[in-house]
A and B are shown apart, each in its own frame.
Chain A
Amino acid sequence: MPSHVPHSSGLQRLIAQLAPLLIVCAVVFALPVLLNNDFLLNKVARYLVLGILTVSLGLSWGFGGILNLGQAMSFGLGSYAMAMALKLKTVPVHTGASGLPDFMVWNNVQHLPWFWEPFRSLSFAIAAGLIVPALVAAALGWFMFRGRVTGVYVSIITLATMVVINLVIIDQQSYTGGFNGITDLAQLEIFGVAFDAYGRATYYLVAGCVLLSLLVAFAFTRTKAGLIVQAIRDHESRVRYFGYDVALYQIFVFALSAAIAGLAGMLYTVVMEFASPTFLGVQLSLSVVVWCAVGGRQSLVGAFLGAVLVAGMQGALSESAAFLETWTLVMGALFVLVVLFLPKGLAGLAQVVLRWIVQRRHAAGRGVAQGVGQTEGST
């Protein structure tokens, strides 16, 4: 390879890496034109949100080597932040004093608890939906990575922490809506635009966030810090001997990933019109791992597509119980096969295929160039 044209090659590589991302986002934005069905559009928006969540896991797992089995924790926290704000915006049907949420009235709560108070402001709620997951993750990350907890133990701690928060939410019914979650929400309204769950506006909001989070994640992986995070994944102690404080990098990527998951959680509340403890449940959290693995943990676009395709497939088949059950079996098998034979998921497979095609074309091209005037059969 000629090494004397670094300028163009760096830019070319950037474009090549961005192309799949932009193509996928273009398709996402174009979909409402083809799909003239609000109900279906809402479903697609749901899968796109799960896609964002999976991208966030890809960032910490695929790039940072941190297998967070509790990724849904950040998602759930974001989702509750949004739900709390929207709950306080409802025209109260069963209000007690000062527009108390209905479930609080049922549980004989007299005053709005202090931690609900600031959620009267939507801007606060949106900021909290990003910052709270990031802070919780940073604290948990500090706790783990300062103590050099690695590998399997990170997975256990993240999973257990999520279950604890989940249990607390279910247990504190009078403040969190408990098992039922927070339902009967007002519509999200930003700058006069109302985001009806089944409206186009909501779809484009989600699509915009897909683009945003993919770009943010991509931009991070292209920085030197992103490179160092990948180096930590490959050989943690080696990085330390170059003078980098490994824990800080891990905490950073862990918190960034949590913030993106929090964004996805907020959108999920808007799309689903409620928040529920299942949003930070073990089931969802492990499903995200499957989507990420199938799509390709080291490819942001791959992880995104993995979620959209697999969750979408599952949604499409869920019309019939028998189909769904068979599908779960097939899913399990598919997942095991991917883990065994495609550690880089479908994205890895696509890369191999693409490289093979390019090489063939190169070979063919060279064959033609060399074979001028020779027999035609050589290509």
Chain B
Amino acid sequence: MDQFIEQIVTGLSIGSILLLVALGLSIIYGSMGIINLAHGEFVMLGAYAAWVFHTYLGLGLLASLVPIFLVVAAFGWVIERYVLSLLNNRPLDTILATWGVGIMLQQAVRLMVGSELRYVQLPPALSDSMSVFGIPVSSYRVFLFVVSIALFGATWLLMNRTTVGMKLRAIIQDRSVAASFGINAKRVYALTFAYGAGLAGLAGALVSPLKSVSPDMGTGYVVDAFMVVVLGGVQSLAGTVASAFILGELSGGIAFLQNDTVAKAIVLLAIVVLIRFRPEGLFTARVRA
């Protein structure tokens, strides 16, 4: 029984990290239709930013979260403005362009700070562990769970209760009609992309104490995040949450029963089958065009 609960808690922890990483991708994919292959590199930038703030400015992880968000969001803004906005009607090409951008970011970091692994300290206040359902869990993981839910809530509010969110939803519906009502689609897109990038940066900073930081750390994350988005369904934030935790529990469970490689292969196959039969994801209603 204990082992079962432990498994569930591990799954929740994996799920919260997945949600953190996938949230930004989900926003960008769902609203702009862009598969952002540089998403992993935004995560990586966030992790490095945490390391830089700590090493050179002596700032703790929690204190540097807001500046990290802003820095990575600024990167996102520039990339949207000067690369992606030029590719309006070429969705396949945006994959290629963002991938190229990802390579550049990765390589630039490697050239500047080297490819050796870096480590970010746990915030001292969260370095102990606490008891959840009688299972000892690191406080930091509980913190991550809370933060991921909070960021999801904030994003939902932003999309559904603010003017920017409303404008974005209008553009998703019909860009030209939105434009004729005076909505500046270009600006809203740039802001959306920047916000998604900022979220990815936050995710990177937040996971950095758990994993080592390296220039190529993003590759794994982008794949995971992408699976979450595909499973959850485009344009469904709630679906993203559900699928993040389902995948978290699943990969925890399968890894427990099988080895890691088989777990990965099974999850990938499931994704392939899902895309073939329900490209709109598990949690969105079928809508006819």
* Residues of A near any B CB (own CB < 8 A): 67, 143-144, 147, 149, 151-153, 155-157, 160-161, 163-164, 167-168, 170-171, 282, 286, 289-290, 293, 325-326, 328-329, 331-333, 335-336, 339-340, 343
Contacts and interface: CB of A to CB of B under 8 A. Distances in A.
Contacts of A339: 87, 93, 96-97, 100
Given A329-B107, A329-B108, A170 B272 contact: no
Nearest to A172: B261
B91 interface: yes
Q: How large is the interface on B (under 10, 10 to 19, 20 to 34, 35 or more residues)?
A: 35 or more
Contacts of B104: 329, 332-333, 336
Given A160-B272, A329-B107, A340 B35 contact: no
A336 B86 CA distance: 11
A167 B264 contact: yes
A339 B102 CA distance: 14
Given A167-B261, A326-B111, A335-B100, A67 B92 contact: yes
19 contacts: A67-B95, A147-B277, A155-B92, A157-B275, A160-B272, A164-B268, A167-B265, A171-B262, A282-B219, A328-B103, A331-B103, A332-B104, A332-B107, A335-B96, A335-B100, A336-B100, A340-B86, A340-B87, A343-B93
Given A329-B107, A336-B101, 15 more contacts: A147-B276, A147-B277, A152-B95, A156-B271, A161-B268, A163-B265, A164-B265, A167-B268, A293-B96, A328-B103, A335-B99, A339-B93, A339-B100, A340-B86, A340-B97
Contacts of A152: 35, 91-92, 95
A312 B272 CA distance: 35
Contacts of B111: 325-326, 329
Interface in B77-103: 83, 86-87, 90-93, 95-97, 99-103
Contacts of A168: 265
A336 to B, nearest CB: 4
A160 B268 contact: yes
Nearest to B33: A152
Interface in B46-102: 83, 86-87, 90-93, 95-97, 99-102
Q: Is the interface of B mostly helix, strand, loop or mixed?
A: helix
B95 A332 contact: no
Contacts of B269: 160, 164
Contact of B96 (A151, A289, A325): A289
A154 to B, nearest CB: 9
A26 B288 CA distance: 54
For A170, A289, A333, the residue with the greatest tally of chain B CB atoms inside 10 Å of its CB is A333
Contacts of A156: 226, 230, 271, 275
